[in-house]
Amino acid sequence: MSTLEILRKSLYVQCAIKSVLQHQAYRNIERFMRYLIVKNV
């Protein structure tokens, strides 16, 4: 396997991890907002 292939694969993995983390953070924020709204009412 060439260095370019390894770099491309690791970059792809990093992007996948980043998108998963962003999705997780977004869900946590959404849950927190909902919690605040419920608490205010």
Tell me: the pLDDT tens digits for 2-35?
A: 999 999 999 999 999 999 999 999 999 999 999 9
Structure tokens at 3: 């260095």
pTM for the structure as a whole? 0.58
Q: Where are the domains of the chain?
A: 1-41
DSSP per position, 4-32: HHHHHHHHHHHHHHHHHHHHHHHHHHHHH
